[in-house]
Structure 1
Amino acid sequence: MAATVVQLTESKKHIQHTHRVFEAQKRAFRNNPMPSLTERQDNLRRLKQALLDHKDRLVDAIDRDFGCRSRDESLIAEVMPSIQGINYTLRHLREWMAPSRRHVSILFQPASNKVYYQPKGVVGVIVPWNYPLYLAVGPLVASLAAGNRTMIKMSEYTPHTSALFRDIMEATFPEDLVSVINGEADVAADFSARPFDHLLFTGSTSVGKLVMRAAAENLTPVTLELGGKSPAIVSPDVPLADAAQRIAFGKAFNAGQTCVAPDYVLCPADRVKGFVDEFRRQFAAMYPSLRDNDDYTAIINERQYERLQGYLADARDKGAELVELNPARENLGAGTRKLPLTLVLRTTPDMKVMQDEIFGPILPIVPYGSLDEAVHYINDRPRPLALYFFGYDRQQQQHVVDNTHSGGMCINDALMHVAQDDLPFGGIGDSGMGHYHGKEGFLTFSHHRAIFTKQKFNSGKFVYAPHGTAMHRLVYRFFIR
């Protein structure tokens, strides 16, 4: 009871703080509605320097939150893409900010058409727990580049990272420019109900619906980066070593706790055994041991660990064959929260691993007869955030591209499309809406303001009333045909 009272008191403080900062950012934006290129570049450089100055502390904080987060995974997937994203934005921001000239029909000449990219105002960002640094910094970079004020709600499941990131941002920016909000789920619910000028949420589809519902009350535009069951297709003729190695990397990275991790594999029925054998070899080469191997990341918390164990038990009870990959045959135990990567064979549609996004080191293998059968299998299900195809036949590659939908896609690789600075990142259907990263991030957080300009000479007067003149008939003759 006492703990509940304390939590309510803390939540109330966080919510009051959220409201106060939101109003301060709105006032600050009104006082400076169009920050210059120099201001925006300075803000990005300050952010970059802060990340470089504190990268070791941030990596350590993420490690503490996970109970074992590979240092190299944090550097590769959190720090490096954050820094590279800032560098890319700094190189291209001038051209992105330049007004875009558009065509003017002869009917309206002399005049000019331009699109100005205007900051939207105060942007809200809701960050998940799986990549707490990168999924906070990526949207922040785009928002600052577009000239906005930004409020960031960090996850309650990464308390060390969230507290440190708040301290770093407070030391780097005034709170009416960038502010970090911490707190439990009730604080996040209140945060999503603020009348932001744009709201970006990364997380589950179910919570994304709640966020969108709250945003709709304020007509706040949203970008939703959700998840889903991202398939990996093994083609009939790709070398199994190539496919298995790259899928193993994509699935084992962060112990599968990645929104674009391969969720299941579609494999030709006559190649399943060979794929499993090759996958086992490739995984063992990357992770010869698990328990004391700092390269192999733990599950974030006990709740998620138990959820994944429940998926395995459900599959086993319903007749699946589980292939546990534990090269050193260690006794991991629940205390480590390290879960061996487990392949699931003989799946059925009623298994939870075939219904829910797995978000962990469990990989079902689904056999198929023909490539068209694999394509139909994907198209019969909600559109995924990512799709992976492994095969070197260009006609097969194009067939999958043309006949499927997904937020993004890799051909003969996994995860890497997310790290491309000049590619948009986003979902479709159940996996989300909207895009960011690179130029698309700048555009997402900018209002595309159309401006039609005329000077002293007014050609429009030729179609003013009274109607029915010879000039009207001439205009109709040339422009209605």
Structure 2
Amino acid sequence: MDITADTTPDELVATHRALRTAWQARRPDLDQRRADLKRLRDAFRAQVPAMDAAIRADFGHRSEHENLISEAMVVIAEIDHALAHLRRWARPRRAAVGWRFWPARAQVRPVPVGVVGILSPWNYPVNLALMPLVSAIAAGNHVYLKPSEHTPRTSAWLRELLAEVFPADRVAVALGGPGVGATFAGLPFDHLLFTGSTAVGRKVMAAAAPNLTPVTLELGGKAPAVICPDFPVDKAAARIATGKWINAGQTCIGVDYVLVDAARRDAFVDAVVAELRARYGDIAGSLDYTRIINEAQHARLQGYLDDARARGLQVIAPFGASPAGAADEVGRLLPPTLVIEPGPDAEVMRHEIFGPILPVLSYTSLDDAIGIIQRLPRPLALYPFTRDEADLARILDGILPGGVTVNDTLVHFGVHGLPFGGIGPSGMGQIHGRHGFDTFSKQLPVLRQAHWAGSDLIKPPYTGKIDRMIRWLAK
């Protein structure tokens, strides 16, 4: 079989059926799950250089160090965390029954749901495929993964890696474009996870609806950073630069725009420009700056800049404009660019940017800043910069994002004890660590009745003592 060929509709159905049949015949016990995760960890570690090569080839160029941080490190840490805590996660938990049902006993048992489907994106093609897979395997499920067609070399690498680790009827990988993805989303999974855009997320949810498949959606949105007047502007600029320009801004929780108090707006812009020049030097020759994934994305981003210039907005490009042409990876170099004070109708404020363009807006009061964020759909992430607890409380009370990192960016994604997920247009459901394990488990309630039970007495005819007992219990 050609491991790079698109998966046909018949193959999708047959593979899903094989995964389900195998799971029903023998559900992975804890020993099997732990053995699977250990084999995955060992195989993944051995294949990190091949992973790096595949990702860099798909992007044209991506920073090797960012691959190690954002792909290798987080996946290995997720596996290690699951191995360290799996037995405790899987242990039944006692539940109180209350005196009315004494002497019955109750517990909640986390049990696997069956076959989990994962639709993963191109921007972090390994991390966002394998982290939910780890949770699904830890929970005792079989997994069908469909990675992005926009990173074909990495998707083929994932297929080879997982075929080395798992039997074909425990974990399988489908390859192909939007047509394959649409058919995949319509399979009768026991749980389906999609990571990607809000627009495609709606289509995935619609495709899953006829089967009543439970869906977890990890989407995106315009994640703001809010710099309060008390926070040092240089430090905020450095941390925001990391949250914006890692992976050339192609990050779902990356900083989408910045709100800074009006008196320090220009100082913030100057600090960001200085930070960028110190980090990247000659941008065209920098090994640390990633290319845009493909020509379509490059054209979309360039269109946002063309719109900003046509509106007469101040556009600051510390390294100059994007090179002409987009025929190869050199043309897909889009240097870091700032757009100053765009209005709500500017293209950079109407869409999730998902690229290396940073709008900078000033505000006159914190209520003004909060109002700007509230007028936009709920974001996947929020980054307040302040040491004032009262201001922080006002921000957190006034905005409901998917997750928050205070006085930094991105970091909450890597904390295994925190749930990761959006709300509304930025997604639904949550993954990572225990939260991912629970997402791919059914929390099964089990009540054990005693030899003697009150229900033996409460039955018609409801007269005399039984009538009085029921009326007393119902008070």
Do they fold alike, i.e. is TM over 0.5?
Answer: yes
1:25 equivalent in structure 2: 19
Counting only pairs closer than 5 Å after superposition, residues 37-48 of structure 1 correspond to structure 2 as: 37-48=30-41
Q: State the SS of the aligned residue for 1:291.
A: helix
CA-based RMSD: 1.2
- Tell me the distance in 1 between the aligned counterparts of 2:195 and 2:149: 14
Q: Deviations over 1:129-179 (max 9, x none)?
A: 000000010110000000000000011100110111101111111111111
Gaps of 5+ in 2: none
Alignment pair present for 1:251 and 2:244: yes
1:355 to 333, 343, 350: 350
Alignment pair present for 1:123 and 2:116: yes
2:456 equivalent in structure 1: 461
Q: Deviations over 1:203-226 (max 9, x none)?
A: 000000000001111100000000
Are the equivalent residues in 1 in contact too, given 2:322–2:333 (CA < 8 A)? Answer: no
Alignment pair present for 1:407 and 2:388: no
Q: Deviations over 1:408-455 (max 9, x none)?
A: 011011111101111100000100000000000000000011111113
1:393 equivalent in structure 2: 388
1:72 equivalent in structure 2: 65
Are the equivalent residues in 2 in contact too, given 1:99–1:114 (CA < 8 A)? Answer: yes
Deviation at 1:325, TM superposition (A): 2.2
Counting only pairs closer than 5 Å after superposition, residues 184-203 of structure 1 correspond to structure 2 as: 184-203=177-196
Deviation at 1:185, TM superposition (A): 0.9
- Tell me the distance in 1 between the aligned counterparts of 2:10 and 2:50: 29
2:8 equivalent in structure 1: 14
Deviation at 1:333, TM superposition (A): 4.0
Deviation at 1:330, TM superposition (A): 8.8
- Tell me the distance in 1 between the aligned counterparts of 2:244 and 2:287: 17
Deviation at 1:331, TM superposition (A): 7.5
Counting only pairs closer than 5 Å after superposition, residues 16-415 of structure 1 correspond to structure 2 as: 16-33=10-27, 35-326=28-319, 332-334=323-325, 335=328, 336=330, 337-415=332-410
Question: TM-score, normalised to structure 2's length?
Answer: 0.96
Q: State the SS of the aligned residue for 2:252.
A: coil
Q: State the SS of the aligned residue for 1:460.
A: helix
- Tell me the distance in 1 between the aligned counterparts of 2:441 and 2:341: 49
Taking every aligned residue pair, what percent have the same amino acid on both sides? 45
Alignment pair present for 1:446 and 2:445: no
- Tell me the distance in 1 between the aligned counterparts of 2:375 and 2:39: 47
Are the equivalent residues in 1 in contact too, given 2:259–2:360 (CA < 8 A)? Answer: yes
- Tell me the distance in 1 between the aligned counterparts of 2:461 and 2:172: 58
Alignment pair present for 1:435 and 2:435: no
- Tell me the distance in 1 between the aligned counterparts of 2:459 and 2:416: 50
Q: 1:28 corresponds to which letter in structure 2?
A: A
Q: Out of 190-199 and 284-293, give the one that drifted further.
A: 284-293
Q: 1:22 corresponds to which letter in structure 2?
A: H
1:480 equivalent in structure 2: 474
Q: 1:480 corresponds to which letter in structure 2?
A: A
Q: State the SS of the aligned residue for 1:430.
A: coil
- Tell me the distance in 2 between the aligned counterparts of 1:406 and 1:346: 23
Deviation at 1:475, TM superposition (A): 4.1
Are the equivalent residues in 2 in contact too, given 1:426–1:434 (CA < 8 A)? Answer: yes
Question: TM-score, normalised to structure 1's length?
Answer: 0.95
